[in-house]
């Protein structure tokens, strides 16, 4: 029995430690994760559950879950192979280690409580801190062997690997995106001619805004607290049998689809007490011509992703419902094919659903970023009304009338936008596009952004 870190080849352990250090640094520097950052055991538990090598060994308090993992790959096992459960008698281990005091660092049993780590909750996880290559030369664990003839039938994979994500797990997508960028960065050959463009510091163009732009009052710390650190949730409480059926007249103009679906949600779903604390399941069907089977099959998981990203934040019910409805309209316009990389298909779908759409790009301080589309008029409406007051005289008129200029010269959202307007825009237009177009980090709250502008 070895921890994942001890399985790493010796020559790779330094880079593995650097990766773990980057993860711990990301936890410390991500707003809203202060409690997690203050608990080292909890931080390492999150790392362990998301595949980073650590000196923790996974255990569970559930014999059924242990049986599931012991037989998880039974279908690929050779005939006659045995499954094994490794059993930890905690009292026996502690008694044994009393005789080794001072000779060897003791093993440590950990049962950290990590709010919002749904994988740990689903697996009833606990850990043994084991910094040894060959621990069983010192201490023997009990084992139960049995034939590995088939998978354990009473637990489904989604029960131990939840498909839905908590607020913490949504945030982790930012870390993994940034980590991918670090590990897959490409360096051009030495003889390559490089063109470097430097972006002015300060979050705005000093030629257009020579005296700077003050942070808009709507971005106060008190207001943003709920947008950065929503209350933690337990998976067992958030799970629900509620299945909301969206009935879509088809074919119909996208703006009518958005209105009808939003009205249906506000009328039939939102009045349920506490529904925004629940993991609603989704189905979709049409009245009239049949929807493509790809829409019926592929869209509901994306709606669940959008619901889970928006519901725990202080978005207004109307904005949340409008966002779900926009996601439905975009999904239908795309014919349910969300894997296509053909830009013209996406642009055409966006043009059907949004008036004068504008592509925007935005990012967080950790380096993760995303893109989305929004109506030009709605972006302009979210810009703070007094922004021209901070422009140089020769630029005032253009800043007032030219949205592209604003997005090109003032790219710090807390300087440029009224928060409530930008938050509404994210819920109604930008987030719905993201959950359809992106498998990586999706941003649901503009409070986490330090950049917003044109791609």
Dihedral pair phi/psi, residue 230, rounded to 5°? -65, 160
Long-range contacts of 105-113 (CB under 8 A, 24+ apart): 105/131, 107/135, 107/139, 110/41, 110/45, 110/56, 112/39, 112/41, 112/42, 112/45, 113/42
The residue length of the chain stands at: 455
* Exposed/middle/buried for residue 325 (C-beta within 10 Å: 0-12, 13-18, 19+): buried
Q: How far is the CA of 229 from the CAs of 115, 132, 308, 434, in angstroms?
A: 12, 37, 15, 21
Q: pLDDT of 157-189, one tens digit each?
A: 999 999 999 999 999 999 999 888 888 865 666
Q: To the nearest whole percent, how much of the chain has pLDDT over 90?
A: 82
Average pLDDT over residues 409-420: 97
Q: To the nearest whole percent, how much of the chain has pLDDT over 70?
A: 96
Q: Is the pLDDT of residue 196 over 80?
A: no
- Count other C-beta atoms under 10 Å from residue 416's C-beta: 22
pLDDT of residue 354: 97
Closest to 176 (Cα-Cα) out of 47, 331, 7, 29: 47
For 66-127, the DSSP string reads: HHHHHTTTGGGSPTTPEEEEEE--HHHHHHHHHTTTTTSPPPEEE----TT-HHHHHTTEEE
H/E run at residue 246: strand 243-250
Residue 332 in 3-state DSSP?
helix
pLDDT of residue 193: 61
Long-range contacts of 90-99 (CB under 8 A, 24+ apart): 93/139, 96/139, 97/139
CA 231, chain centre distance (Å): 16
Q: pLDDT of 279-334, one tens digit each?
A: 999 999 988 888 999 999 999 999 999 999 999 999 999 999 999 999 999 999 99
H/E run at residue 248: strand 243-250
Residue 48 in contact with residue 143, Cβ under 8 Å? no
367 or 103, higher pLDDT: 367
pLDDT bracket for residue 198 (50, 70, 90): low
Torsion of CA 98, 101, 106, 110, to 10 degrees: 50
Tokens of 11: 């020559």
pLDDT bracket for residue 249 (50, 70, 90): confident
Residue 309 in contact with residue 170, Cβ under 8 Å? yes
Q: Is the pLDDT of residue 358 over 70?
A: yes
pLDDT of residue 189: 65
pLDDT bracket for residue 341 (50, 70, 90): confident
pLDDT of residue 199: 58
Q: How far is the CA of 231 from the CAs of 115, 123, 173, 234, 316, in angstroms?
A: 9, 22, 19, 10, 17
pLDDT bracket for residue 202 (50, 70, 90): confident
Strands 357-363 and 281-288: unpaired
Q: How far is the CA of 139 from the CAs of 7, 50, 102, 344, in angstroms?
A: 19, 28, 16, 62
pLDDT of residue 16: 93
Average pLDDT over residues 32-51: 93
pLDDT of residue 172: 95
pLDDT of residue 194: 56
Work out the mean pLDDT of the chain and round it to a whole number: 93
């Amino acid at each position: 029995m070895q921890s994942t870190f001890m399985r790493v080849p010796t020559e790779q352990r330094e880079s593995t430690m650097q990766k773990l250090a980057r993860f711990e640094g990301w936890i410390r520097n991500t707003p809203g994760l202060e409690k997690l950052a203050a608990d080292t055991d909890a931080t390492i538990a999150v790392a362990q559950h998301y595949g980073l090598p650590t000196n923790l060994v996974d255990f569970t308090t559930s014999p059924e879950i242990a049986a599931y993992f012991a037989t998880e790959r039974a279908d690929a096992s050779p005939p006659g192979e045995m499954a094994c459960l490794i059993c930890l008698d905690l009292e026996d281990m502690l008694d044994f280690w009393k005789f080794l005091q001072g000779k060897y660092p003791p093993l440590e049993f950990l049962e950290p409580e990590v709010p919002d780590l749904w994988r740990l909750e689903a697996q009833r996880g606990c850990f043994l801190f084991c910094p040894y290559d060959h621990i069983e030369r010192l201490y023997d664990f009990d084992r139960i062997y049995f034939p590995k003839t088939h998978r354990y039938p009473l637990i489904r994979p989604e029960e131990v690997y939840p498909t839905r994500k908590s607020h913490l797990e949504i945030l982790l997508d930012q870390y993994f995106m940034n980590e991918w960028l670090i590990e897959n960065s490409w360096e051009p050959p030495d003889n390559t001619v490089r063109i470097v463009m430097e972006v002015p510091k300060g979050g705005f163009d000093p030629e257009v805004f020579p005296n700077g732009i003050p942070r808009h009052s709507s971005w106060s710390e008190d207001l943003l607290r709920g947008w950065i650190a929503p209350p933690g949730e337990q998976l067992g409480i958030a799970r629900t049998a509620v299945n909301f059926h969206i009935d879509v007249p088809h074919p119909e103009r996208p703006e009518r689809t958005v209105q009808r679906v939003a009205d249906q949600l506000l009328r039939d779903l939102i009045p349920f007490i506490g529904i925004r604390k629940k993991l609603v399941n989704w189905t979709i069907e049409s009245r009239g011509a049949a929807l493509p089977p790809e829409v019926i099959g592929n869209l509901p998981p994306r709606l669940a992703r959008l619901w889970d990203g928006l519901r725990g934040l202080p978005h207004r019910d109307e904005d949340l419902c409008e966002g779900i409805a926009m996601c439905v309209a975009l999904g239908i316009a795309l014919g349910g094919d969300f894997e296509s990389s053909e830009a013209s298909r996406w642009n055409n779908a966006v043009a059907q659903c949004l008036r004068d759409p504008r592509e925007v790009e935005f990012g967080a301080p950790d380096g993760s970023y995303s893109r989305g589309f929004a109506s030009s008029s709605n972006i302009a409406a979210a810009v703070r009304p007094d922004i021209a007051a901070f422009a140089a005289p020769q630029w005032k008129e253009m800043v007032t009338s030219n949205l592209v200029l604003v997005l090109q010269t003032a790219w710090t959202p807390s300087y440029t936008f009224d928060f409530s307007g930008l938050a509404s825009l994210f819920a109604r237009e930008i987030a719905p596009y993201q959950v359809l177009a992106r498998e990586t980090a999706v941003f649901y709250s503009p409070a986490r952004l330090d950049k917003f502008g044109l791609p």
